[in-house]
Amino acid sequence: MFSMTKSHFDRRSRRPGLRRRGTEDVRGRGRRAGEMEASGIRSDRSMCAVFLEISSSSSFSSGKNFTKKKAASGGERVRAHHRRERTIMITSAVSSSHRAITRSVFARAAFVSSGSLKRSKSSSLPTTVSSSMPYLSLDVPERKLPARVEHLDIRADSPIQLSKALHREVKDVTENYFQELIDFGSVYISDELEENFRLERNAVKNKMQRVTSDVVLPPNSRHYVRAHVHPRRFPVATDVQTRWNERVVKETEDFLVVWKPAGLPVTASVDNAKENVLRCVSSLSSPKKDEAKNLFPTHRLDVTTSGVVIVAKTSNAAKIFSKILRDGHVEKRYLVLTKKPPTLGVMLHEYEPSERMVGEGARMVKMKSMRMDLLKDDLNVYLKNKMKIPSNVAMLRVEKSEPVEFDGEKFYESTVELITGRTHQIRAQFSKENLALVNDCLYANSIDDDDAPLPRVPEPEEKIGLHAWSLKINADTSLGPNGVEFRAENEDIWWR
């Protein structure tokens, strides 16, 4: 026999203040929405009528248990499903800021900070499944699906395949679809848990591993499983217009020089292990083999950033190039597009990294202004030796800026040398100076603007004004002698 327990909660909104607005826009202003807002918990199951009854004394921070209402009748479930489908279809047509609000409402799940999962009876789960469910295959959907993550406490009394166990618990997702999710790298499983192990938020954070085959769960075992039912997709990976065979501009026994397109991560994302630069490049030589594990990143670019990337063929080569980077022997230059011209010279800020936790929204870094007159001596030292730059300092140099015209509007294209390599550095520093990059919806100008849209993570198809234009290696490698330079002069510079 086989039995499972599931409890799933919506992740909190991506931005402070989004939660109430999103709930009112999508779920209505009824009593149930108000109760859910008061508790900080919302139903994550957007495609099936599971209703939660939240007691007035429960709260997100207290972690008190909640109970499920009885499943609605078949007719009520179908009507509820269609109402939610219409809501999603309607909201997909509104502005980008409203799409972000919609996405925040259907955000990924997270465990309550305290409180354990209780075994539920299988009869409490809905059994009616709409024939219009989108869970058929992992082809890129015609419309974006709301983010959905299932957190499951699975107990197997006898051997059972993982996909079958998942389907028995999540009725509206087929077993075949779960098999595809597993192959896609969208399912994680913990080490075997003790019977009395208390599942709490982040309790199994270091015990999880991505599963890439439909494993058989052993008898009398217990596992925590996280399934990203709607993984984030990157269509440029399989778009024929990307022309991957033209993007590998040099190959040696140790390295590959690649022109990365915008809209694609360099490595596997948390819910998508197949659509990334490493996987796409490795498939050029053996399309039928999973060889992405044989390629190694030496540095990374943001999903929305295009340009030059160096990929290593061996782990040893990756270590060598990483040391060259750390020693400051690599010069990186970017093309930056803004609406106003920046001041030429060094831009220096105090850097505060993101401390994002699960469920806390988009990852952003902060920049604080520094007095240049007090740092004049230090600045000369930093420019002579990058190794002496403190880890909390972000530094770049604007070398030139020229006006350009695109689509009838005037912009400024600047050449920027990235002296330090902090996360989102150029975007955050330019934003701090009220020079937000064109189309960057995450880092807006630092001056408060009541009419400005709420910050959100750009969608993969949204291109921003940032391109990794040049990479110069001041060391001898198999890519060439000291001083060899690679430039990405191609159609990825979309404003030219």
At residue 371, does pLDDT exceed 80? Answer: no
At residue 80, does pLDDT exceed 50? Answer: no
**According to the per-residue pLDDT averaged within each range, which of 24-28, 85-89, 427-431 is highest?**
427-431
At residue 16, does pLDDT exceed 90? Answer: no
One-letter amino acid identity for 35?
E
| Residue bearing the bigger pLDDT, 341 or 49 | 341
Q: Which of 432, 455, 471 is nearest to 338 (CA)?
A: 432
pLDDT computed for residue 111 by the predictor: 30
Q: Which of 90, 88, 111 is nearest to 11 (CA)?
A: 111
Give 171's contacts (C-beta < 8 A, 6+ positions apart): 48, 125, 126, 127, 129
pLDDT computed for residue 73 by the predictor: 41
Distance CA 288, CA 132 (A): 32
pLDDT computed for residue 30 by the predictor: 34
Lowest mean pLDDT among 95-99, 203-207, 278-282, 340-344: 95-99
pLDDT range class, residue 99, cuts 50, 70, 90: very low
Tell me the β-bridge partners of 54.
none
pLDDT range class, residue 108, cuts 50, 70, 90: very low
At residue 341, does pLDDT exceed 50? Answer: yes
Q: Tell me the CA end-to-end span of the chain in Å, nearest whole number.
A: 63
Q: Which of 121, 125, 29 is nearest to 77 (CA)?
A: 125
CA Rg value for the chain:
25
292-323 residue pLDDT tens:
458 999 999 999 999 999 999 999 999 999 99
pLDDT computed for residue 363 by the predictor: 76
Instruction: Delineate the domains of the chain, giving CATH numbers in brackets.
Output: 2-228 (no CATH), 235-487 (3.30.2350.10)
pLDDT computed for residue 450 by the predictor: 62
Element (H, E) at 100: helix 96-105
At residue 15, does pLDDT exceed 80? Answer: no
At residue 187, does pLDDT exceed 60? Answer: yes
155-164 residue pLDDT tens:
999 999 999 9
Q: What percent of the chain has pLDDT over 90?
A: 54
- For residue 286, count CB atoms less than 10 angstroms from its CB and return exposed for 0-12, middle for 13-18, buried for 19 or more: exposed
CA count, 13 A, side-chain hemisphere, 487: 7
pLDDT computed for residue 146 by the predictor: 87
At residue 249, does pLDDT exceed 70? Answer: yes
At residue 149, does pLDDT exceed 80? Answer: yes
**Contact between 298 and 312 (Cβ < 8 Å):** yes
pLDDT computed for residue 285 by the predictor: 74
pLDDT computed for residue 267 by the predictor: 95
pLDDT computed for residue 304 by the predictor: 95
- The average pLDDT across 30-45 equals 33
Distance CA 268, CA 274 (A): 7
pLDDT computed for residue 112 by the predictor: 27
264-274 residue pLDDT tens:
999 999 999 99
pLDDT computed for residue 422 by the predictor: 92
pLDDT computed for residue 374 by the predictor: 58
At residue 433, does pLDDT exceed 90? Answer: yes
Mean pLDDT of the chain: 74
Lowest mean pLDDT among 113-117, 475-479, 490-494: 113-117
| Residue bearing the bigger pLDDT, 125 or 197 | 197
Chain centre distance of CA 335: 24
- The average pLDDT across 470-483 equals 97
- For residue 214, count CB atoms less than 10 angstroms from its CB and return exposed for 0-12, middle for 13-18, buried for 19 or more: middle
pLDDT range class, residue 78, cuts 50, 70, 90: very low
| Residue bearing the bigger pLDDT, 204 or 47 | 204
**Contact between 125 and 71 (Cβ < 8 Å):** yes
- The average pLDDT across 49-74 equals 32
Q: Which two tokens stand for residue 386?
A: 């990058």
One-letter amino acid identity for 249?
V
At residue 237, does pLDDT exceed 60? Answer: yes
Distance CA 170, CA 133 (A): 13
pLDDT computed for residue 140 by the predictor: 78
At residue 39, does pLDDT exceed 50? Answer: no
| Residue bearing the bigger pLDDT, 20 or 402 | 402
pLDDT range class, residue 386, cuts 50, 70, 90: confident
pLDDT range class, residue 178, cuts 50, 70, 90: very high
| Residue bearing the bigger pLDDT, 59 or 444 | 444
Distance CA 357, CA 363 (A): 9
